[in-house]
Amino acid sequence: MSWTATRLEDGVRRGPAVRLSVDGREIGAFAGESVGAALLAAGIRALRESPSAHEPRGLFCGMGICFECLVQIEGRPNQRACMTAVADGMRVVTRRT
């Protein structure tokens, strides 16, 4: 699959294209983006479920305060997707059941 270096329609340039695996599915992203931004751009909204009600949770504050975007990154649990920069070949696992 080919990845482009422009995400926005207005032609804003991004960093180099990278690939990451999310729950075994390969998505494209750009160096300098957060994992959370890459997930949203790929249409992945629900990243985990609330512990008691099992309701979907995803990005909320986008600045590391709310902890709603916790995912497993490279085998490390409870990482904030909004505060972690993407890296080529990164493996991300959501906590949806």
pLDDT score recorded for residue 45: 95
Tens digits of per-residue pLDDT, 39-86? 999 999 999 998 899 999 999 999 999 999 999 999 999 999 999 999
Percent of the chain at pLDDT > 70 equals: 86
Kindly tell me if the per-residue pLDDT of 91 is higher than 80.
yes
pLDDT at residue 11 greater than cutoff 80: no
Domains in the chain (CATH in brackets) are 17-93 (3.10.20.440)
CB neighbours of 82 closer than 8 A, spacing ≥ 6? Answer: 34, 35, 36, 37, 59, 61, 62, 63, 64, 69
Confidence of residue 1 (pLDDT cuts 50, 70, 90): very low
